[in-house]
Amino acid sequence: MNLTNAIKLRQANREFKKTPLTAEEVEQLTEAAGYAPVARGRFNDFLITVVNDPATIDILEANDTGHPFYGAPTVIMISTTLTGQSGFLSAGMIAENIELKATDLGLATCTILGVVKASIEESEAALNSLGLPGDFHPVLAVAVGHPDHELKPRNFVTNRLRTVTIDPEK
């Protein structure tokens, strides 16, 4: 799949089949994560935790109302030791790489922030279930799985972002 098609097809999906991801699919997603740029090249300050265990996903969802991972069979948690904007920005870039690769593999994704900030960080059980070392804290998650329906490219309004171009005077 070419990049433009992957960008058009990538979307927040909230309906997943229960079919687990294969080890090869997970490997390709984590490899794609590793290609993301991170703040000042501090890759050792980031940790990817792949959660395939339904019981652990239940623990991560326990302090939230509903199922914030939408029944996805895999949750990829992105954690960092960095505080402030550089950690969040880098986590977003890692997540986008995972999502684009998932789209390329015919998988669906949904980026999850709310439950991470509102519930997981406040739950000792959830934090313990992730087994995070030292000063790592979760900042973003990506729910991943096989889509429960066919994903179709979205029709975009191409000028929905205002753009200003500054050129040298001629």
Q: What is the C-alpha separation between 34 and 30, in angstroms, rounded?
A: 6
Q: What is the C-alpha separation between 15 and 78, in angstroms, rounded?
A: 22
Measured CA angle at 62 (ends 58, 68), to 5 deg:
75
Q: What is the C-alpha separation between 101 and 69, in angstroms, rounded?
A: 19
Summarize pLDDT for 25-60 with one digit per residue, the tens. Answer: 999 999 999 999 998 888 889 999 999 999 999 999
Q: What is the C-alpha separation between 144 and 132, in angstroms, rounded?
A: 20
* CATH superfamily for domain 3-145: NADH Oxidase (3.40.109.10)
Domain boundaries along the sequence of the chain: 3-145
pLDDT band at 12 (very low <50, low <70, confident <90, very high): confident
Q: What's residue 141's pLDDT?
A: 95
Compute the average pLDDT of residues 127-134.
Answer: 90
Q: What's residue 45's pLDDT?
A: 93
Whether 9 shows a pLDDT value over 90: the answer reads no
What pTM did the predictor assign? 0.89
Summarize pLDDT for 140-155 with one digit per residue, the tens. Answer: 999 999 999 887 777 7
Q: What is the C-alpha separation between 170 and 111, in angstroms, rounded?
A: 44
